[in-house]
Chains A and B, each alone.
Chain A
Amino acid sequence: MMPLFRANLALTFKGLIRLPGFWVPTILFPAMLYAFFGAHNAGEGPQAVYAVASFAVYAVLGVAFFQFGVSIAEDRQSAFATWQRSLPGGPAPIWAARLCAALVFSTAAVLLVLVAAAVVGGLSLDPATQLRLLAACLLLAVPATFMGTALGYLVSGHSAVAIANLVFLPQAYLGGLWVPPQSLPAQIDAISHWTPTRHMGEVAWAVVGATPIPPASLLAVAVFTVGFIALTWVAYHRDRRRRFS
């Protein structure tokens, strides 16, 4: 299994690293957005720290949507992916390599947000808080990833980028990742509580604020995770039936 994992890891990383059009915007855009708008809008004090957490979650979400959502949708239409199916070894090493790549790119994207927070926002988060935020983001990458995979198996390669943006950007706004939830209009705030991103945000805000994570948000993140896994499972099998049965 290890040689196959290594082979897939090399294929995945080389493929992505040599495609700056993918990774530069994916890992740079959240930090850029934070530097241009997030830092300025948040001002100073605790809100500034919450903004860093918000954009860190936004960064993880971007990697999940674009690395998993879009790339899976495109793969489903590629003859290369069909040829990969003809190789012995099964899909597990391919998936493990993709997950690894997603975690690495998520980490890079979160670290860039932290760098932007220090350089542009003038914030000096202590290392323990930064580590806690990074750990929380990597855990939150799990539901985000399954959201991406579900999308990847539900939409076609041609429409994947448009639909990913259509889901991703409203999710970020509704979840209070761009604008603090307190500043959202009342109706939007009411909707916000039903989005996974709001609860992902709540987890990250509690981590940087050193306050207990709201149990309702933890439960909601768990429920959304299970829901997205189930949706991925159903979409994956539907896709297999269509293409290979």
Chain B
Amino acid sequence: MFARSPSSTLAIEAEGLNKRFGNVQALQGFSLSLRPGEALGLIGTNGAGKSTALKLLQGLRVPDSGRAAIFGQPAGSSGAKSRVGITPQNADFPEQMTPREMLSYAAAHFQTPKPMTELIEAFGLNRIIDRRMGGFSGGESRRVALALAFVGNPLLVFLDEPTSGLDTDGQEMFQAYARAYADAGGSLLLTSHHWDEIEQICDRIVMIDQGKQILEGALDDIRRRAGRSRVSFAMAEDTDLPAWLIEGFTFDSGRWHAIAADSDALVRRLIRDLPRCRDLQITPLDLKETVAQLRKELAA
């Protein structure tokens, strides 16, 4: 179903990438490696340098210094491009063309393209495959853009905000396909503001801020490093709460929440001071909370 990556060479190997636009240092000594078969989430706030990093890796921009290679080939070289699939963040396709024509066009650039029927099925293009794209909604265009990334049966896929504008069905369809692609040995670099999507698809994340990598690791390792859990409980509204609780907890959706390094100690204290608390829960932090926590610690 999917092309397999050669296991000996890194899918992406970038070292010391620097890029400046006028007064703005978009990337500072940015390094990244991606093993074949690995799915990596590149995260960061708007303007952190994610798009610049992607452009350098895709060969759409030239770094001021540093080097980037794709399966050992210089980024942007013909050898690199033939192994890569890209979905554009903003897909302004020619309005007069149909998705079928666009997929055929892209397929002509690759040695062993994917069967079109597989892509039509995987990205739910059946209804729109022969319609001109002029009147497409954002979600429909996005589905075509995603299919285009995979049409060349690539060893590595760059996905820049892949599901922005996509409905829930489309998001689920894409996430299943991307995960299956990585499980089958495909390499994937994803940027997204949807944390759940990164958790769903990626094995590892790299966080970038002001052009620098500030956090890197496998998702499980990152959770362990944060070493925190969420403690929450419900309480009758007329209960007087102790001051320590009001300071340390937040109230949201009918429950009191706190993030704790030592959740056992906190629970013991809650039971001692608030015997009437109900539905006490200890849950692991989600990725967004974990990263926020680690960032706080890094800043401190």
Partners in one complex: yes
Residues of A within 8 A of B (CB): 3-4, 6-8, 10-11, 14-15, 18-19, 78-80, 82-83, 85-90, 244-245
B78: chain A residues at CB < 8 Å are 88-90
Contact in complex: A87, B101 (CB < 8 Å)? no
Given A86-B58, A86-B59, A244-B62; A11-B82 close (CB under 8 Å): no
B104: chain A residues at CB < 8 Å are 7, 10
Is B91 in contact with chain A by the CB < 8 A criterion?
Answer: yes
A8: chain B residues at CB < 8 Å are 105
Contact in complex: B108, A3 (CB < 8 Å)? yes
- Describe B's contact surface by its main secondary structure: loop
- Describe A's contact surface by its main secondary structure: helix
CB distance from A176 to the nearest CB of B (A): 37
Contact in complex: A7, B105 (CB < 8 Å)? yes
Contact in complex: B86, A86 (CB < 8 Å)? yes
Contact in complex: A88, B92 (CB < 8 Å)? no
Residues of B within 8 A of A (CB): 58-62, 78, 81-82, 84, 86, 88-94, 96-97, 101, 104-106, 108-110, 132, 148
Bound-state Cα–Cα, A95 to B105, Å:
15
Q: 11 more A-B contacts (CB under 8 A) besides A11-B94, A88-B81, A245-B61?
A: A8-B105, A79-B88, A79-B90, A82-B88, A83-B148, A85-B60, A86-B58, A86-B84, A86-B86, A87-B106, A244-B60
CB distance from A14 to the nearest CB of B (A): 6
Contact in complex: A10, B101 (CB < 8 Å)? yes
Contact in complex: B109, A89 (CB < 8 Å)? yes
CB distance from A19 to the nearest CB of B (A): 6
A88: chain B residues at CB < 8 Å are 78, 81-82, 109-110
Contact in complex: A245, B62 (CB < 8 Å)? yes
Bound-state Cα–Cα, A54 to B132, Å:
39
Contact in complex: A7, B91 (CB < 8 Å)? no
Bound-state Cα–Cα, A11 to B94, Å:
9
Given A85-B60, A245-B62; A79-B92 close (CB under 8 Å): yes
Bound-state Cα–Cα, A34 to B58, Å:
50
Contact in complex: B62, A18 (CB < 8 Å)? no
Given A7-B108, A88-B81, A89-B109; A80-B60 close (CB under 8 Å): no
